[in-house]
Amino acid sequence: MPLSQVQQDILSILKKANHVLVFPSSPLDGDSIGSALALYLALKKLGKKATVVAEETVPQSYNFLPEISAVSHELKFVRDFIVTIDCRENTPGSVRHEIQGNKINIIVTPANGTISKDSVAFAQGPVPYDCIVTVDAADVSQFGKIYENFTELWNLIPVINIDHHASNTGFGKINHLDIMAPAASTMVLPLIEELGPNLMDADIATLILAGLITDTGSFQNPNTTPDAFSIAAKLIGYGARQQEIIRNIYKTKKLSTLRLWGRTLTKLQYDEPLHLVWSVLTAKDFAEIGGSPDETEGVIDELMSNAPGAEIIFLLKEKGPLETGGSIRTLTPTIDASKLAGLFGGGGHLQAAGFKMQKNIAEAEQTVVTALKDFQQKRLGIEDTSVAPPQPSSSNFPFPPQPGMA
């Protein structure tokens, strides 16, 4: 298939670049990490410098991926400050500097006469990076401090935005968006194939396939298009290690992860009239079990397959004193999960989305539950159900709430 103009523009920038910054979205998942590292390896094979930076720690389940250690959590951005003195009239005899408290004095002693301040000019040194490539991110807020602390850098060099979320804000100078793509990693594949001959190898193919498998839920999610299967076949042809991906992501779970999944099910709440299912994990839960919020990946998809009658499923997890992460899944395409996540500053796909809130877990739970109940009440034409607490229904839901839970 011929490349689009946007793809050609991206290739033109990457081919000219010497040092590329690659930012995967947060929270990190198989698609964002796979896309970023696939680009990283391809650029390295071309003899270019590439740096992958992510604010969050890589979930342990992805430690098997090729070059996973290349993901850094610190962005280094410094520019020289250059003082230029026009010495055509006064040759300098010596140059030295001295530090006085918070000040630096640069002392230039001319061979004769004086140097006028009009002969002095100031400038910033060159930016050490040529471009930024973001993958699998709908908005700059998904980069956290990497964006907040380095906004100047984002404005100084071209930003290439590669994404497949319908909620993408088009924040890049070049926006390569395809909401029909099953994963961002599949959008990276044709770019790598065109960057140079023989760049694709088993490691790069494995990274791209990891993104495809995780974002389609091992080809079970609604975003599993016919193209997803043909792309998977091509990647396996390149040497992608499918069984390694399945074994590490789906068949290997730490004891703490299994305990977290159990705690999530134990704390499950169900509003039957409004077809809402949710669970909340607090810092206390993580401390007692010895797990982390990263280990909850996949549990919400497990809830989907065990919650007949539910239309909206969401999971809230406490990530800090004033930070709550949320995941939303909808079991009907008539409810747009990305729009629901947008109520809380997030985004995503039609039936799978996420968000972050700068609130403590209790406030976040109240906000999200109230908003989604209100949404369902209006959508279904049901009066306020808050008068009576949601009741478990053993006939159509296998995990009733625990005593005392709303």
Domain 255-380 architecture: Roll (3.10)
Residues 6 or more apart whose CB falls under 8 angstroms from that of 136 comprise 24, 25, 29, 31, 32, 35, 162, 163, 164, 165, 183, 184, 185, 211
Average pLDDT over residues 307-317: 88
**Residue 398: pLDDT band with limits 50, 70, 90:** very low
Q: Where are the domains of the chain?
A: 5-75+129-248, 81-124, 255-380
Alpha helices in 46-181 (DSSP H): 145-148, 151-156
182 or 255, which is more confident?
182
Mean pLDDT computed over 220-229: 86
Q: Residue 309: pLDDT band by 50, 70, 90 thresholds? A: confident
| Cα–Cα dist 63/57, whole Å | 11
- Distance (Å, whole) CA 50 – CA 18: 8
Which of the four pLDDT bands, split at 50, 70 and 90, describes residue 400? very low
Per-residue pLDDT at 392 exceeds 60: no
- Please state the rounded mean pLDDT for residues 321-337: 90
From the list 212, 230, 202, 190, the residue with the least C-alpha distance to 3 is 190
**From edge to edge, which strands make up the β-sheet containing 347-348?**
269-271, 276-281, 312-320, 323-330, 352-357, 347-348
Task: Report the SS3 class of residue 121.
Answer: strand
- Identify which of 313, 299, 302 has the alpha carbon closest to the alpha carbon of residue 270: 313
**Three-state SS sequence of 325-377:** EEEEEECCCCCCHHHHHHCCCCEECCCEEEEEECCCHHHHHHHHHHHHHHHHH
pLDDT at 385: 55
Query: What pLDDT, in 10s, does the model give residues 72-126?
Result: 998 988 777 888 888 877 777 788 888 888 888 888 888 777 887 888 888 877 8
Tell me, what's the pLDDT at 391?
44
Nearest to 225 by CA among 163, 181, 195: 181
- Which residues does residue 163 pair with via DSSP β-bridges, in sequence order? 177
User: What's residue 293's pLDDT?
Assistant: 80
Residue 33: partners with Cβ closer than 8 Å, 6 or more residues away: 24, 54, 58, 62, 65, 68, 71, 207, 210, 211
Q: Which two tokens stand for residue 346?
A: 């997030």
Q: If you average pLDDT over residues 271-295, what whole number do you get?
A: 88
Which H or E element spans position 206? helix 202-215
Which stretch of DSSP H or E encloses residue 5?
helix 5-16
Q: Determine the pLDDT at residue 240.
A: 97
Query: What are the residues facing 106 on neighbouring strands?
Result: 97
Q: What are phi and psi of 17, to 5 degrees?
A: -70, 150
- DSSP letter string, 85-107: E--SSS-EEEEEEEEETTEEEEE
Q: What is the pLDDT of residue 217?
A: 84
The values of phi and psi at residue 173, to 5°, are -70, -40
DSSP structure class, residue 118: G
Q: How far apart are CA 406 and CA 392, in angstroms?
A: 10
Q: Are residues 3 and 190 in contact, defined by beta-carbon separation less than 8 angstroms?
A: yes
Q: What is the dihedral of CA 235, 237, 241, 246, to 10 degrees?
A: 60
What pLDDT does 384 receive?
Answer: 66
- Rounded Cα gap, residues 360 and 347, in angstroms: 20
Superfamily of domain 5-75+129-248: inorganic pyrophosphatase (n-terminal core) (3.90.1640.10)
| pLDDT tens-digit series, residues 14-61 | 999 999 999 999 889 999 999 999 999 999 999 999 999 998 889 888
Q: What CA–CA distance (Å, rounded) separates 328 from 313?
A: 6
User: Which two tokens mark 86?
Assistant: 């026009």
As a whole number of angstroms, the distance between CA 130 and CA 16 comes to 9
- How far apart (Å, rounded) are the C-alpha atoms in residues 198 and 356? 40
Of the pLDDT bands very low, low, confident and very high (cuts 50, 70, 90), residue 306 is low
Least confident of 233-247, 259-273, 335-349, 374-388: 374-388
Q: Is the pLDDT of residue 267 over 80?
A: yes
Which pTM value belongs to this model? 0.76
